Amino acid sequence: MLELFYYIDIKVIMKKIAESDLRELRNEILRCFLHIAESKLGTKLVGTEQQLVLVMGDIKNRSISGFRIGTLYLALEELDNYLLIFDDLPQTVLNKEYQRILNNYIDFGYPIYGFDNKKLKNRMNGLKNIKKRYEKNLYEKRQIIYRVLRETALKQGKWSTLNQAVREVYPILEVEFKKFDEKWIKNRVKELKKEIKENELALKDNKKPHFDEGQINYQNRTYENKINKCRKEYEKLEKALKSKNISDVMGRTLAFNSDYQEETIINHLRDCPDILREVLK
């Protein structure tokens, strides 16, 4: 399970949630339910949208081939509620709730998504890519925590309590995390440079006359969007490297970069009995 502060900044994917975004996600969820019901049960569902919602409600406590219908139904109910009070909600609340519902939808691993909606599919792919990088980052930082605790316990002896252990090694962890973050950012910068170069070359090649003009314009926009996206992330990472505190720029994009790091580490270690046996008396 990810840490309590786990968070994907939706501003990376889009700046402002509109009413149409909620409706598009609502339609996506209905299409997903239709796909699961028809492909897994072999049942053709017909009727109005309202009738489809009623069917979902009737089987919300069931799972179909491991997919929990209740999860989709709850997301649908939440979206309907936010659509009713859309004009009364602050933008920050809309962004946060949309992000939560969208991330939950992705987390539950529905195999096909982005039905008839390229924008939504691209947004989901963007979130999934960010999440993959975060999870890898989280795993590696946890290994740092385990290593530092083990090494310190071997040198100085075991601790009486978990709080005492984390408090004593925390200064070491801060240094180790900073080194890790700097290395991670530098590696990501290299990846972005490569992506920018590849897309610039593809853009240049795409403008050659042997391509259809309509296809050229479409592909040009695709390459230009990728280049702009990479450059924005590149600039942010360069700024982070120059900053005294990386988390001021990166926020929660990197694991264990919050105002509650010690508490988060302690909460995680409570679920690690093997580590606790090694470092506690």
Select, from the ranges 37-41, 56-60, 213-217, the one with the highest average predicted confidence (pLDDT).
56-60
Q: Is the dihedral of CA 145, 170, 6, 66 positive or negative?
A: positive
pLDDT for 32: 85
> Does 168 or 92 have the greater pLDDT score?
168
Task: Specify the pLDDT at position 116.
Answer: 65
Residue 162 pLDDT > 80: yes
- Output b/e per residue, 203-227; b: 16+ Cβ within 10 A: beebeeeeeeeeeeeebeeebeebb
Question: For residues 22 and 85, is the Cβ–Cβ distance under 8 A?
Answer: no
Mean pLDDT of 57-84: 88
- What confidence score (pLDDT) does residue 118 get? 75
Question: For residues 275 and 264, is the Cβ–Cβ distance under 8 A?
Answer: no
Distances (CA, A) of 211 to 17, 217, 223: 37, 10, 15
CA–CA gap between residue 120 and residue 193 (Å, rounded): 26
Q: What pLDDT is recorded for position 216?
A: 58
Q: How far is residue 70's CA from residue 191's CA, in Å, rounded to a whole number?
A: 40
pLDDT at residue 279, as a whole number? 95
What integer pLDDT is reported at residue 277 of this predicted model? 93
209 has a pLDDT exceeding 80: no
Nearest Cα to Cα of residue 14 among 117, 77, 81, 98: 98
Bridge partners of 280, per DSSP, are 159
How many Å apart are CA 269 and CA 70, to the nearest integer?
A: 32
Mean pLDDT of the chain: 83
* Residue 164 pLDDT exceeds 90: yes
Helix (H) or strand (E) holding 67, with range, is: strand 67-68
Quote the pLDDT of residue 2.
40
pLDDT attached to residue 9? 46
Distance CA 203, CA 225 (A): 11
Give the mean model confidence (pLDDT) for residues 123-133.
77
pLDDT (average), residues 59-86: 88
Pairing between β-strand 67-68 and β-strand 63-64 as defined by DSSP bridges: antiparallel
Task: Count CA atoms closer than 13 A to 168's CA, side-chain side.
Answer: 19
Task: Out of 31-45, 104-118, 166-180, pick the least confident.
Answer: 104-118
Token readout for 169 is: 């090694």
Q: pLDDT at position 213, please?
A: 59
Q: Quick one: 111 exposed, middle or buried, by C-beta within 10 A (0-12, 13-18, 19+)?
A: exposed
* pTM greater than the 0.85 cutoff: no
Helices 19-41 and 49-58 cross at an angle (nearest 10°) of 60
Question: Which are the contacts of 43, defined by CB distance < 8 A and separation ≥ 6?
Answer: 37
CB neighbour list of residue 259: distance below 8 Å, 6 or more residues apart: none
Give percent of the chain with pLDDT exceeding 90. Answer: 37
Please report which confidence band the pLDDT of residue 129 belongs to, taking 50, 70 and 90 as the band edges: confident
CB under 8 Å to 206, separation ≥6 — which residues?
A: 216, 219, 220, 223
- More reliable by pLDDT, 138 or 163: 163
Higher pLDDT, 95 or 148: 148
